[in-house]
Amino acid sequence: MSSEHGPGGVDYQRVDEAYFAERGLRRHARVGSLWALGVGAVISGDFFGWNFGLAAGGFGGLLIATLIITAMYVGLCFSIAEMSPALPHTGGAYSFARSSMGPWGAFVTGLAENMEYVLTPAVIVVGIGGYLGAIFGTPDAWAPAWWALAYAVFVGLNVAGVETSFRFTVAITLLALGILAVFYIGALTQFDLSAHAFDIEPGPGGTAFLPFGWKGVLASLPFAIWFYLAIEELPLAAEEAHDPRSDMPRGILLGLLTLVVCAFLTLVLSAGMAPGAAALGVSEEPLFDGLRTIFGAGLGARLLALIAVAGLVASFHTIIFAYGRQVFSLSRAGYFPRWLSVTHPTRETPQRALIAGALLGYGVALTIHLLGSDHPVGAVLLNMAVFGAVISYVLQMTSFVLLRLRLPDIERPYRSPFGIPGAVFAGSVSAVTLVALFVVDPIYQKVVIGAALWFALGLVYFAVHARHHLVYSPEEAFAIAARREGPEESS
């Protein structure tokens, strides 16, 4: 195995075809499957997590934050819709950064996205445990058992094969949207915005609409992000899509439109009915609370709530898919340990990456649970996931601008109508969100220590070991060819 020096102080090792033969993915997805993957990844945000923003900023604060974040995701998704078919590799954000910022930028971007995708399922599994515990009346001590069961089932489903995984994704996403539709229709019969949405006691200088003032808007930003977080995962399916150049932009943008409609319906209708914004802001199962208001606390509401777990399951399943492909891509290129990228010999799924991500996510959730906290485990994990996400967004929008400037002539099957200004806006809002959270959110100030440790360990690993053992993966080969750089030029 030969080794050659590359730009940025990295070394590449030439591998034979057998290396990639052990790391193959199978093409299956078309635009409908991609739409379901994008919507399914996010839809749990309408079932659990968003509601903590009511406690942080009140109804008005969360509403304004959601408007800001929606505009940010419009800029983000249109930019990603341009980059993905131009760079149709399963690396996603890492792939964009590799072509625009070199190996170090690629690793930092990949590490941020890795934090987002590994911890987001951990947030969701806490929600699944909360719903199942409420439905079956199990004690809080059972929560880790529910989490372990969920991971085992849905990692297994992802390992089973891409065809099975995508078919389940489409079915569970449609079921989740159907449950939301039932809730929206029922909520209209109970809706009274003035009686329920403004029941949070205003703080000093606050009002009924903004009980914590503009500081509450800033504090609500991470929970507004939860309405959309992970829609940007779709490029990770590029090597499993039949026609990523045309289907990927359509899947991303149709998914975003679906999520915008759901976000505002969920926020307004949920806050405008009993139990009210104050109670909803601390609930571990907000949709179940709404269903009990509509249908009563009997068996019917419990059955609906059990079906409503479909929303959490949809996101849990699809983001497990995402972190599996993200870890697979980075490990195939040598940024993460290479053994993680070996795929199943017949099913062609990244089984090692899927299992490793599950163990890490479960371990973080269990650690927080056992340490105890004044804040819900889900809220703590959510803030850590958002920390990784907003850093990833800033770096992806930086990649978009640099690709436009440095590689203007690469083929772009789709071009964002918002161009560089749209990417700059999305990146700026992401950066403001990152900085603002340090100022206004005490939970964030604590969990960022864990997030910083994640980055520190990753950077040490890359600096000491990984950068000397990179591989010419498809992402690396494209970036080197496009920028006319590489080991050959530097040797």
pLDDT at 57 over 80: yes
Q: How confident is the model at residue 488 (pLDDT cuts 50, 70, 90)?
A: very low
DSSP code string of 143-176: HHHHHHHHHHHHHHHHHT-HHHHHHHHHHHHHHH
Average pLDDT over residues 108-116: 93
Average pLDDT over residues 237-252: 87
What pLDDT is attached to residue 483? Answer: 65
pLDDT at 491 over 50: no
What pLDDT is attached to residue 62? Answer: 97
Average pLDDT over residues 46-62: 91
Q: Which residues contact 40 (CB under 8 A, 6 or more apart)?
A: 169, 172, 173, 176, 314, 315, 317, 318
The total of other beta-carbon atoms located within 10 Å of residue 313's CB is 27
Mean pLDDT across the chain, nearest whole number? 88
pLDDT at 255 over 90: yes
Helix (H, G, I), strand (E, B) or coil at 3: strand
pLDDT at 13 over 90: no
Number of H helices, E strands in the chain: 18, 3
How many Cα neighbours within 13 Å face the side chain of 320? 34
Average pLDDT over residues 125-131: 84
pLDDT at 127 over 90: no
What pLDDT is attached to residue 478? Answer: 81
Average pLDDT over residues 305-327: 87
Average pLDDT over residues 378-385: 78
Average pLDDT over residues 130-144: 84
Better pLDDT: 482 or 433: 433
319 CB burial (10 A radius; 0-12, 13-18, 19+):
buried
pLDDT at 445 over 80: no
Average pLDDT over residues 190-203: 93
Instruction: Judge whether 92 and 37 are in contact, CB under 8 Å.
Output: no
Q: Letter for the amino acid at 36?
A: A
Better pLDDT: 371 or 373: 371
Q: Does domain 3-490 have CATH number 3.40.50.620?
A: no
Instruction: Judge whether 147 and 123 are in contact, CB under 8 Å.
Output: no
Instruction: Please write the tens of the pLDDT for every residue from 147-184.
Output: 999 999 999 999 988 888 888 999 999 999 998 999 99
Percent of all residues in the chain with a pLDDT value above 90, rounded to a whole number: 53
Query: Of 123-137, 185-199, 257-271, 383-397, which gets the smallest average pLDDT?
Result: 123-137
Average pLDDT over residues 475-487: 68
What pLDDT is attached to residue 35? Answer: 94
Q: How confident is the model at residue 246 (pLDDT cuts 50, 70, 90)?
A: confident
pLDDT at 385 over 80: yes
Better pLDDT: 80 or 2: 80
Average pLDDT over residues 200-213: 93
Average pLDDT over residues 361-376: 82
What pLDDT is attached to residue 486? Answer: 36
Among the listed residues 26, 32, 1, the one whose alpha carbon sits nearest the alpha carbon of residue 16: 1
Query: Of 111-115, 241-245, 328-332, which gets the smallest average pLDDT?
Result: 241-245
pTM of the model: 0.89
- Tokens, residue 426: 């999305």
Dihedral sign, Cα of residue 340, residue 234, residue 63, residue 195: negative
